[in-house]
Structure 1
Amino acid sequence: MSPELQTEAPIESPIQIPATDGYPLGACLYYSDALHLPQTVAIINCATGVKAAYYARYAKFLAAHGYLAITYDYRGIGASRPASLRRLKATKFDWGSKDFEGIMSWVIKNIPDAKIVVVGHSIGGVLPGFSASNGRIDRLLTVGAQFAYWQDYAEHARYRMLLKWHVLMPLATTLAGFFPGRLLGWLEDLPAGVAYEWAFRGATLSQRHSSSIFSKPVKHQERCANTHYFAQLHCPLLAYSISDDNFGTPAAVMRLLRYYRGSDRTHVMVTPGEFALSEIGHFAFFHDRFGQNLWPESLAWLNTGNVSRQAVNFLPSEPISEPDTYRF
């Protein structure tokens, strides 16, 4: 794949792609050459409560370098939102096992010989672990990826974030029947199951509350099903942390990386000072201000697997004998 930027603007094609249960997902394809199928498909997984449109600039960047880039909204968000969120039963596990898996299935069916890479922001880096087809992924790049266990939040902001996301969010969700994020100015609206899952997440992915603040304990078989597929991912994984990201702290990122035991996992750190900035935070990696530095750096890894910055942690792949057992 040529590193040279294409001169023509990438083509944008809105499309609907069904999740594995038939739920229609709003998606968009970005590509540069309408006459030839790409050799590599990049699936971009959003953060919680962020529309796929936010990642359009990064998708166009990948498309300009020869990729077919796919952005899509999870059920309940953006172009995948139904008329009423109050009646939508959805969890983050559904986003991975049904929505992301549906995108994977569409790619495998329609472009069977393509190499598949995944870029996962925040919860988007967790979802491949819920996918039955994740063995087809050739590279996984994550940015601030974690599952919002509150004790991993940045120490200076931990109790403020605990109050906001783990007390006020479930309270607002109980009152409204969904999380009214837009009304509050806190990201997008969320299905109730997603909001509760975030608010009541424990230290492991096996601990989840799927439907309400009054959920019954999840059965052992269901807990195992949540993490069953993590171990079958065997591709290289590059995980970015941003030093001023209050969500994706090194502790939070490493907590997630320990699930992907079948992969070589490289953890790298980015600091605002590298770019003469005062902050980057959880979201700005995908802003086009980084189109001349971080984006080409990530592209080089997606193309070749060569890591251009020093690793702060490296976890080699492990022999997998008990895929449903995780130690922290």
Structure 2
Amino acid sequence: MNLQDMPSPAPAQAELTSPVTSAPFKETACDDFTLGGFTWRHAFQDTARTVVIINAATSVRCRHYSRFADYLFANGFDVITYDYRGIGESRPASLKGLDASWSDWGALDFEAMLKRAQREFPGQPIDVVGHSFGGCAAGLGASGHLIRHLVTVGAQFAYWRDYAPAHRWRMFGKWHLVMPLVTMICGYFPGKRLGWLEDTPAGVVRDWSTPTARYEQRPSGRVIHAKHGRLPFANVTAKTLAISLSDDPYGTIAAIERLLGYFTGATTTHLRITPQDIGEQEVGHFAFFRSAYQATLWPIALSWLQTGELAPDTPGRQVPRS
């Protein structure tokens, strides 16, 4: 990065000094499905304080992001985490027969969180952090125009040709052959039993495993596109930072740029980080939100949420936008 082009430093970050208590909640989506999640709320409302919604990766429970939510709360944000329908706090008694897709997770579940943030934190700016598919979900809500700042981490929608070459065929076999086959037999994907991920609704598996390069060609993407004549990504006008890790086999440059191409109404920056940039040997797809990276990776997201800019000492390099 060219330091003379960098903005002034972001406000100092606060360290976590004591346990933070979050409160569980239930929220009803517009189709009457009940979603569960957690809120980190300061005692007094302040319209200058931002509320951050955290969108999880596919079939990763929202509890995975609790320490990161604690960190944001300690640095002056209110925070909402939640599980998509079929996962964790939003799981019904049985996943068999649950009609839930990736687009439902964005257009219904994330949209419900945007509406909740408006209602529960009136007048406060709304920012979003999206991990993996969570970055895609951020573009599927009809109220995406409400987002002020957006940070995505390893965000893409699993087009198999974008997987890292060294892992591509193994990943294709796992996610595009084995996963849909097991789902067809069981009526849902029993990922927890296999130690792969949380149990996952069949519609989400269909979206993930369909080997097409365009989101509007995924099964649920076709439904949205046919209904509205377009996808809602352009509704998002947020200043957007896409963070990718060089050793993430899902979040390759091609994969990140493919998703960013849908955010035509947003101002986007793609930051590419190698583990060596932060003194590590590996980080991968899931580790960003582990507390081990509080001092090295979390401040990057914090700075963007606070200012919409990268701090001068940010590790990594910016990927030129085509």
Match runs of 1:94-243 below 5 Å = 94-210=104-220, 218=222, 222-223=225-226, 225=228, 227-243=230-246
Indicate if the aligned counterparts of 1:246 and 1:282 stay in contact, CA closer than 8 A: yes
**Superposition deviation, residue 110 in structure 1:** 2.3
**Aligned residues: CA RMSD:** 2.0
- Shift of residue 144, structure 1, vs aligned partner: 0.2
Residues 110-141 of structure 1: per-residue CA shift (max 9 Å, x gap): 22211110000000000121111110100010
Of the structure 1 ranges 92-101 and 2-11, higher mean CA displacement relative to structure 2 is found in 2-11
User: More relative contact order in 1 or in 2 (CA 8 Å, sep 6+)?
Assistant: 2
Identical-residue share of aligned pairs (%): 44
2:319 paired with 1:313: yes
AA aligned opposite 2:53 = I
Q: Is the 8 A contact 2:111 2:142 kept in 1?
A: yes
State how many pairs are aligned. Answer: 308
1:16 matches 2:26: yes
Q: Does the 8 Å contact 2:59/2:198 carry over to 1? A: yes
Residue 289 of structure 2: aligned partner: 286
Contact 1:130–1:229 (8 Å) recurs in 2? yes
Q: In structure 2, the residue corresponding to 1:193 is in which secondary structure?
A: helix
1:270 maps to: 273
Q: Against the structure 1 CA distance between its residues 218 and 7, is the aligned structure 2 distance closer, same or farther, given a 3 Å change threshold?
A: closer
CA contact (8 A) 1:207 1:223 kept: no
Return 4-13 or 92-101, whichever deviates more: 4-13
Amino acid at match of 2:57: A
Contact 1:205 1:226 in 2 (8 A): no
CA contact (8 A) 2:272 2:319 kept: no
Residue identity opposite 1:35 in structure 2: F
Q: Decide whether the 8 Å contact of 1:141 with 1:239 is kept in 2.
A: yes
Q: Trace 1:32-43 onto structure 2 (pairs within 5 A).
A: 33-37=42-46, 39-43=49-53
Q: CA deviation at 1:3?
A: 3.6
Q: Is the 8 A contact 1:201 1:209 kept in 2?
A: no
* Aligned residue number for residue 324 of structure 1: none
CA 1:218/1:140 → structure 2, altered by over 3 Å: closer, same or farther? Answer: closer
Does the residue aligned with 1:129 lie in a helix, a strand or coil?
A: coil
CA distance in 1, matches of 2:317, 2:256: 13
- Per-residue Cα deviation, 1:14-58 (whole angstroms, up to 9, x for no partner): 111122212111100123x32345711000000001000000010
Mapped contact 1:42–1:119 kept (Cα < 8 A): yes
Q: Which structure 1 segments of 5+ residues have no match?
A: 211-216, 317-328
**Counterpart contact for 1:6–1:64, Cα < 8 Å:** yes
Residues 90-124 of structure 1: CA deviation (Å, up to 9, x unaligned): 00000000000000011112222111100000000
1:58 to 2:68 alignment = yes
CA offset at residue 271 of structure 1?
A: 1.1
Note if contact 1:272-1:280 (Cα within 8 Å) is conserved in structure 2.
yes
Match of 2:253 among 239, 244, 250: 250
CA distance in 1, matches of 2:257, 2:197: 25
Distance 1:143 1:276 in 2: 19
Give TM-score, length-normalised by structure 1: 0.89
TM-score by length of 2: 0.90
Return the alpha-carbon distance in structure 1 between the equivalents of residues 35 and 247 of structure 2.
Answer: 33
The 8 Å contact of residues 216 and 231 in structure 2, kept in 1 or not, is answered as: no
Please give the secondary structure, in 1, of the residue aligned with 2:63: helix
**Residue 298 (structure 1) shift:** 1.3
Q: Deviation above 6 Å: which 4+ runs of structure 1?
A: none
CA distance change for structure 1 residues 314 and 307 in 2, over 3 Å: closer, same or farther?
Answer: farther
Return the offset for 1:274: 2.2
